[in-house]
Structure 1
Amino acid sequence: MALIALSVRGAMGQYLEALVPHIANSLEVHLFVPNHFKGDIGNAILHNFPTGETKPKALFKLLNPFLAKKIWNEIVEVKPNLIYLFNGEGYPWVLFWMVWNTKVSIPFLITLHDPEPHPGNLWEFLNGKFRKFVIKRAKSIHIHSNQFLETTKQLGAKDIIVIPHGSFADRFLQYKQNNIKRENTALFFGRLEAYKGIDILIEAGLLLNGKIKIIIAGPGKLPPTLLDKINQNPTIFELHNYFLPDSKVAELFQRASVCVLPYKQATQSAVPLIAAAFGVPVVASAVGGFLEDIPRVGGLLVPPNDPVALAKGIEQAVGITPVYPHKLSFLYISKQFINWFKENV
């Protein structure tokens, strides 16, 4: 099979590292990824292609039909029984590939990470605009939650399979240290995006007034107004505004008493499983995929966009013993992917 991933930074790269080695133990996998991907791929056969160092440069390359054709020829040359597009279903190259695939008729499978595009992100907006052409022509579509079955059908999917998001907690658990103690803190971990409700979390933190300290950790740009509130209240907030190494992630989850996900919109997330693996209870907004993800780990759901409810939920979550579903490790999840691939050859 040819497995193609057009986005490999951050959590997407971690997902690939968790999934690909297991698949490559059972199938011959040719992995086509940007040349900056350096992750573990097990027995997979690596095929690199260039993309830009910045998003504007990457967009320029992704609009180049000649480069798209060059990569497509490399894909066809390995004579795959199927093509699995891991992400980037609305990127320009994929539009070209789907047209050219009509000549060779290779089964085309897609994982749809975000059936509902996240608001406030240009890449998500463009991806959402162009992907319908691709989705309608794919043989089968994979989503992570039953919550988005109807949405995916409306996008024109012919066949849909639901495989839940697997856990890559192991990559962080290896850095666990015995000398780190739990603190009275609530941890938000992940890229800082507007749709993730950081503004709601900050208001909830002010309501808690230091009773439970709020740790905000991840890359991204915060609006000046929110940054000012954080900086003006050092006893209430702790900010780590950068891409955290795995060891630092482990340290923060060991310190935390609660993991908080105040999202305004959510499709899927690896964070609830990471938190549960560290024994940290989760409180999250009752939106999207969280309606399945949070009960699965024994967490609490609260109304979205409600700082008062979020503050109460954080307090209530302290002391709850989370449930870690071992069946969501990639050792087991990968078998569902392999069955899906075999069914569509």
Structure 2
Amino acid sequence: MARRRPGWTLSELADRLGATLEGPDGPAARPSAAGDDDPEGVTFAQDERYLTKALEGRFAAILLPPGLECDQTVLRHPRPRQAFMALLTLADRPMPLAEGIHPTAVVDPLASVAPTAKVGPYAVIEAGAVVRDRARVYAFAYVGEDCVVGEGSMLFPHAVLVRDVTLEAGVTIHSGAVIGADGFGYSWNGTRHIKIPQVGGVRIGPASEVGANATIDRATAGATTLGEDVKVDNLVQIAHNCRLEDHVILASQVGLAGSVTVETGAVLGGQVGTGDHVTIGAGARVGGQGGVVGDLAPGKTYWGTPARPKGETMRTLARTGRLAETEARLKELERRLAELEKKL
């Protein structure tokens, strides 16, 4: 049977969101982006710029703050962005997963699966693994030897926990992510690269989330660790023995080399890359495509390669943009100097 999509009347939404309906009641089927044209959608605008964008289309209603007016139906709310987030929560639909263990799943007799956990079709749970209460292991996910899937954690289809990976409570691992593969370590013996065994593990703290096709390598020894509420975007690489403290955010295609420390609340933009053994200070921010080759101080914003304080990088970029002009002026000065020397 098809699962029913959410839908409301505007008056119901007003009650649920703590908003005031200004205009006729009617159906609302879903949240919509401001640039859409969706007569059954609800969008938001927090200022004139966003409202101009929203008015390019038609909507069932627009969430607006006091003082912002338009000729469409309005859901008035003092904080329209937060109200829209609440609407997204109402519209969210968890992926379906049947109770218990699907008959096609492969669960080793030495594994432990809590009675309230759910295990989907063709999932594999190896010996010594533990799947705790209310955890969800979706179709084709793999839970390797001695891994722990914490209470209420989720492994989406084709997520892989290779071995010795611990997910604490409420962790989400998205499709295609590989947690606990070998770290990248080799030693040159004079004739060839000898692989260094990687015998550590990975520990991911509560309420953390790892995006699709991200990779987090097992430690050479000890553990690669992510703290509480760490958010890792799609296609991120975290190498062996890295340590990410609480509330860190890594945007897509960030690459951390081995033994990097990212302190509490730091944010790395898309495609930031680091050298090994560097420390990024608490609350630091690194702009997209930044290259971190040394330690970064806490609380500052960095741009560029090598990553430097934002103001310094901006001044350097401004000077770089004037290089052609500067070169022309220098050549003119050289020409004049040569003419003066001829007259001496």
Q: Which has the higher strand share?
A: 2
Q: Which has the higher helix share?
A: 1
With normalisation by structure 2, the TM-score equals 0.24
With normalisation by structure 1, the TM-score equals 0.24
**Bigger relative CO (Cα 8 Å, ≥ 6 apart):** 1
Task: Kindly name which structure, 1 or 2, has the bigger radius of gyration based on alpha carbons.
Answer: 2
